[in-house]
Structure 1
Amino acid sequence: MKRDKKLKVFVDCHVFDEGFQGTRTYIEGVYKELIKDTTRQFYLAAGNIDNLASIFGQHSNVVYIKYRIHNKIFRLLGYLPWLIVKHGIDVAHFQYRVPPLKFCKYMVTTHDVLFEDFPEYFPKIGRKVSYYTYKISAKLADVVFTVSPYSRKAIVQHLGIKEARVTPNGIDTIFFEKYDKVVMVQLAAEKFKINNYLLYISRWEPRKNQHMILKAFNELKLYESYNLVFAGETTFKNPEYDAYYAALPHTVKQKVVRLGRINFADMLMVLRGARLFVYPSIAEGFGIPPLEALAAGVPTISSNATAMEDYIHFMGQWQFDPQNYTEFKDVLLKALNNPEQMDISGIKNEIKTRYSWNIAARVISGYLNTV
């Protein structure tokens, strides 16, 4: 469609005011590609626009809008529609929820609806709120995007829409960069007092299955040779993990390290220094950490459930059913004892081909071309 002025695209970036999460990675990856198109004008909005500018840079076709209202409800109900009208926006892109007042075209990315397929892992009130707000937003949106074939099928089924377009997550090029393994191991030992460690990077909640790793770590007596390291902020408590950990002897506990929320530089260093990356999550809308680990050349084993079933094309025998403890232990021991059998170089090439932000950006750009 020919236009006599630049298409104005608004992007809600409030997640950049919070901690690292999948939606932030998604927006950053996609829009670093999209803003290369100078025939469109982009308006990126958040509370901390200096932070946004440090991430996306200064460009003639990018305007940073500072949020003056930080309450999420007030912002969604009235402030965002006002900003859209004020700046003459043509298309606005939101994650999960869109404003109920509509003065332009809406794009929404619904990353997953796991609370519908796995309600036991989510608080009841939160499930209800998410279901109705996601459903209303999907109905209001002119186009719905998601990040995996698994999520697309679930969204169409549960939210009652006709179509969701897949914009797969990409792996940042920094994970593919070369580094000195010995140096990374030394840095991790110096800063966090960890060495020869198994690593799991993910939010802390029951569906992430941290308790299964801990159980195997203890029963297989891996603590005699390794540390077990967890990194990631807590979303929900995991009573099963807490109970099992509390009953462990001190000799095992001292080999288990919870780093909690760490910055990106430390996360990358800890990842690169790992002996093995383990990802036993029960349910994911995409599941990007094992791909990042493999891109960084770290031996990795992963769940094969939900969206991660797509990884079978290149991970094969290094995947397992996250609810089959025996299978998990078998794959874990095979990876620790025979890491040379893992074709990490070949897997890295597959990941680089399949998971590029350019692919997701082309899907969104294709829609923008129709506006």
Structure 2
Amino acid sequence: MLNNTKTKIFVDCHVFDGNFQGTRTYIQGLYLELIKDSTKDFYLAAYDIKNLKQIFGEQDNLKYVKYYFKNPFIRLLFEIPRLIFKNKIDFAHFQYRVPPLKLCKYIVTTHDVLFEDFPEDFPRLNRFQSFLTYKFSAKISDIIFTVSEYSKIQIEKHLKVKNVVVMPNGIDDIFFEEYDKEKTVLDVKKEHGISNYILYVSRWEPRKNHHLLLKSFVNQKIYENYHLVFIGDNTFKNKDFDTLFNSLEEKIKQKIICFKRVEFEKMILLLRGSNVSVYPSRAEGFGIPPLESVAAKIPTICSNQTAMGDFDFFDNYFFNPTNQKDLDEKLNYVIENKDENLLQKREIIKQKYNWKIAAKIFNSQIEKFTDS
């Protein structure tokens, strides 16, 4: 081992202090599995450690470390190195960016480098900052994880690094839990005044293609029988969506509902109450929402591009997100026919994408250092 006691792993959990996002799901799913290993001590760090305790609980090998600064530069430059030194940490795990001062082994998870493959979808300053910090972080890290074969290839190409390890996301057990569909539909109607709706869960960026789904919803007059519900906070504005939405008649606008900042429990309720889930994104490093919706037994159609091409079990429920006609046809098909193979797909996802597999891959990389 790296020292004479338990291996100490520091985890930067600052994403739990802000709005709900994919990296939070990733850390939560992975570490709820990893902390079952009593041969390691885990140091989870955030500003709001009370929130962390509610998620991860209390146990002997789990320590909570409080950040006193929310500023990311102060946190990376000064606060985290001090905490690593103070607690004699062996490994520190970060998402995308690591501190420049290295006092232990670094693990970085780079989920994607989509700003390099789709530069038109990202502000220039964002692309420049991301490229420099992601490349530096990958270069000085001892272990580089990513979540799909697509991302591995693109990260190695653009950041000029080797030996990127694919550790796929898992789907949380809550999505596979059984529920009363009729009661859920009634609960959604009581709380939000809607029933019969098509759902898209994703933050707002141009590459997420919200406007393509809106076009399909409007042009095919799906609004006559359904609502269209979006769940996700803003990252970058989608001007195409805004232009189309603003041109619509008021009666159509009333059938389109956008939830920005949604608590996890509310998102689960809205997902379970939906008729159909659609994921029209043009570019993803992984693309977890369509897997979650299938796990929840919601008929789902999914983009077949970038990392989502790995989800070949979607079969006839795949579509090209650059082709409006293809989306129109698949959306009509799933509305009318549902999905007779939904339970089979659900089982494939349960076996292939789970946090036990991810934890096993994580530990195998750690052991290369602890066994030496």
- Is TM > 0.5 for Structure 1 vs Structure 2? yes
Deviating beyond 6 angstroms after TM superposition, the runs of 4 or more aligned structure 1 residues are none
Change (3 A) 1:252 1:2: closer
Letter paired with 2:123: P
- SS at the partner of 2:194? coil
Give the match for residue 56 of structure 2. Answer: 56
Question: What per-residue deviation string (whole Å, max 9, x for no partner) do you get for residues 207-230 of structure 1?
Answer: 110101111111101111111111
Give the match for residue 254 of structure 1. Answer: 254
Matches for 1:166-181 after TM superposition, within 5 Å: 166-181=166-181
The structural deviation recorded for 1:191 is 1.1
- Find the aligned partners of 1:235 and 1:3 in 2 and give their Cα distance: 42
- Find the aligned partners of 1:241 and 1:366 in 2 and give their Cα distance: 45
Give the match for residue 236 of structure 1. Answer: 236
Question: What per-residue deviation string (whole Å, max 9, x for no partner) do you get for residues 118-167 of structure 1?
Answer: 01110000100000000000000001000111101110000000121011
Question: What per-residue deviation string (whole Å, max 9, x for no partner) do you get for residues 333-355 of structure 1?
Answer: 1111111x431110000000110
- Find the aligned partners of 1:358 and 1:81 in 2 and give their Cα distance: 30
1:39 equivalent in alignment to 2:39: yes
- SS at the partner of 1:135? helix
- Find the aligned partners of 1:248 and 1:150 in 2 and give their Cα distance: 38
Give the match for residue 346 of structure 2. Answer: 348
The structural deviation recorded for 1:262 is 1.0
The structural deviation recorded for 1:4 is 2.7
Unaligned runs of 5+ in 1: none
Contact map agreement 2:2 2:90 (CA 8 A) in 1: no
Give the match for residue 147 of structure 2. Answer: 147
RMSD: 1.0
Matches for 1:187-206 after TM superposition, within 5 Å: 187-206=187-206
Give the match for residue 356 of structure 2. Answer: 358
Give the match for residue 99 of structure 1. Answer: 99
- Find the aligned partners of 2:92 and 2:31 in 1 and give their Cα distance: 13
Give the match for residue 334 of structure 1. Answer: 333
1:318 equivalent in alignment to 2:354: no
Change (3 A) 1:318 1:61: same
The structural deviation recorded for 1:3 is 5.3
TM-score, reference length from structure 2: 0.98
Give the match for residue 158 of structure 2. Answer: 158
- Find the aligned partners of 2:20 and 2:33 in 1 and give their Cα distance: 20
- Find the aligned partners of 2:141 and 2:31 in 1 and give their Cα distance: 19
- Find the aligned partners of 1:38 and 1:286 in 2 and give their Cα distance: 30
Give the match for residue 267 of structure 2. Answer: 267
The structural deviation recorded for 1:261 is 1.7
- Find the aligned partners of 2:40 and 2:10 in 1 and give their Cα distance: 11
Question: What per-residue deviation string (whole Å, max 9, x for no partner) do you get for residues 342-371 of structure 1?
Answer: 311100000001100111111111122122
- SS at the partner of 1:370? helix
Give the match for residue 219 of structure 1. Answer: 219
Letter paired with 2:362: I
Contact map agreement 1:166 1:360 (CA 8 A) in 2: no
The structural deviation recorded for 1:179 is 0.5
- SS at the partner of 2:311? helix
The structural deviation recorded for 1:78 is 1.5
Question: What per-residue deviation string (whole Å, max 9, x for no partner) do you get for residues 262-293 of structure 1?
Answer: 11111000000001001100111110000000
Unaligned runs of 5+ in 2: none
Larger deviation: 98-107 or 244-253?
244-253
TM-score, reference length from structure 1: 0.98
1:86 equivalent in alignment to 2:86: yes
- Find the aligned partners of 2:2 and 2:113 in 1 and give their Cα distance: 36
- Find the aligned partners of 1:143 and 1:327 in 2 and give their Cα distance: 40
Larger deviation: 242-251 or 302-311?
242-251
- SS at the partner of 1:369? helix
Percent identity of paired positions between Structure 1 and Structure 2: 52
- Find the aligned partners of 2:269 and 2:364 in 1 and give their Cα distance: 37
- SS at the partner of 2:88? coil
Letter paired with 1:330: E
Size of the aligned set, in residue pairs, is 369
- SS at the partner of 2:9? strand
Letter paired with 1:369: E
- Find the aligned partners of 1:68 and 1:3 in 2 and give their Cα distance: 28
Contact map agreement 1:228 1:257 (CA 8 A) in 2: yes
Contact map agreement 1:106 1:140 (CA 8 A) in 2: yes
Give the match for residue 14 of structure 2. Answer: 14
Letter paired with 2:336: N
- Find the aligned partners of 1:162 and 1:178 in 2 and give their Cα distance: 42
The structural deviation recorded for 1:20 is 1.1
Contact map agreement 1:230 1:257 (CA 8 A) in 2: yes
- Find the aligned partners of 2:65 and 2:3 in 1 and give their Cα distance: 24
Letter paired with 1:360: A
- SS at the partner of 2:4? coil
Letter paired with 1:193: G
Question: What per-residue deviation string (whole Å, max 9, x for no partner) do you get for residues 225-283 of structure 1?
Answer: 11111111111111101111111112211111112221111100000000100110011
- Find the aligned partners of 1:153 and 1:46 in 2 and give their Cα distance: 32
